[in-house]
Every structure is written in structure tokens, then in C-alpha cells.
Amino acid sequence: MTRKVIAAENAKDQTPDPNADGGLLDASERPYFVCIGTIEPRKNHLLLLHLWRTFGACAPRLCIVGRRGWENENVLDLLDRCPTLAGPIQELGAISDSHLTALLRGARALLMPSFAEGFGLPVAEALAHGTPVVCSDLPALREAGGVVPEYLDPLDALSWRRSVLDYTDKNSSRRAAQLGRLPLWRGTSWETHIGSVLDFLETLPNRQPAITTSRTGASPLVVER
């Protein structure tokens, strides 16, 4: 667990600045979701943007947190040129920790339809703030979220659409069920993380370097075996 997640857990009972997010916390006016991550192909923002194009005038808001990446022309074209997305989609770029905290606490859920992840820090951050998570069914995200989030195929657009519409409803039974599972989530401490790293290192084979001499009689070569 990073220091950011630890701080989030310690700050659960603190009330964030209501103006920290520029007014985005008024979920009673229009519910919203949060997507966190650099805008790049593996994060699969394209799925969400195509979904939002189908929602029409009653679409919930989607707050995209993260810098623009590379090789992502289709997503950037939609963000810059699609009039249907101009209202409900809010691209925030890089924001402060306090801003992110306020956003997460007011969101209907964190959406993370990634194709690949190293750990899934946004999942841990969202759960630490008591925010439901709908994310891809990836080993790294299951490691971060445990039994709490809803896990979906990142290519199953229909399931994602149903989930977003369901979580938008203030009486959502699926969202209520996930909130009921939230007490089961436990973040990983520094001690546990370092312990798991040391345990992994102990499973690696011992490699002792062997020193040999090159045919030319030059400096010795170090060979792993």
C-alpha cells in the first residue's frame, strides 16, 4: 500500500473542502463517476466514451482524471470533437490529492475498464474512501480490490452499460450490495508488502557467478549459472 492509500484510510472521518473539486461534488444535481489513469490505450477509455455517447441527455457525468498519453488518437478526437460528450464528460487532467479525495467520496463508483494493470492503485484508493468500484477482471485488480468490486470483461460493453446505468440509480441494489461488502476490504500495509517481496525473493534460484577467461587472454568474463 502506498502512503497515499494509508493517508486515505486515516482521513475517512475528515470532511473534505466542499469547494475542493470546483463544485463537482453536487451529486444530487447529477450523479457522476470517476475514471483515474493516464489517457492511453491500455486504460480503455474508448469503451467508456462510446457508452456515454449512447446515454443521451440524461447521461451521468464522467470525471476523467489523468494526463493525456500517447498513441490514443481515437480517444482524443472524441474528447475534443464530439459534441455529445461535451456536457457529461469532464476531463480534469492531473489534480491534487484533496481534489481527488473529494471526487471519489461523491462518486457513484470508480470505473476502471483497463486491459492491463501493474497493481491497480486507483481501486485501492477508491475503496479506502468508501467508494464502490467497477473494474476489469484482471489478477492485479483482484489483488487490489479483493471480493468487494464488481469485475467485468473489459470487452463486454453491454455489461458495462448495464452497470453504469444501475449504479446511477440512487436506489441501486447492486451498489448497495457492494457497499455492504466494503467492510471486508483490507488495504495492504507496508509491512505486508515488504514481507511478500522478501518471500518472493526467497523463491528465486541462487545464481552464483562463474569466472572464466576469454580465449584472447583479456579480462575475465562473468557468467551466471
Cell of 148: 468487494
- Cell output for 189: 500495509
- Blockwise average pLDDT, block size 10, the chain, 225 residues: 42 37 55 96 96 90 94 91 91 94 96 94 96 97 96 97 96 96 84 74 70 53 45
- Upper half-sphere CA count for residue 133 (Cβ side, 13 Å): 30
pLDDT by residue (tens digit) across 7-57? Answer: 444 343 333 333 344 444 455 578 999 999 999 999 999 999 999 999 988
Superfamily (CATH H level) for 3-190: Glycogen Phosphorylase B; (3.40.50.2000)
Spatial strand order of the sheet with 32-36 comes to 89-93, 61-65, 32-36, 110-112, 133-136, 150-152
CA distance 209 to 225: 6
Q: Where are the domains of the chain?
A: 3-190
Q: What proportion of the chain, given as a percentage, has pLDDT over 70?
A: 76
Whether this prediction's pTM lies above 0.85 is answered by no
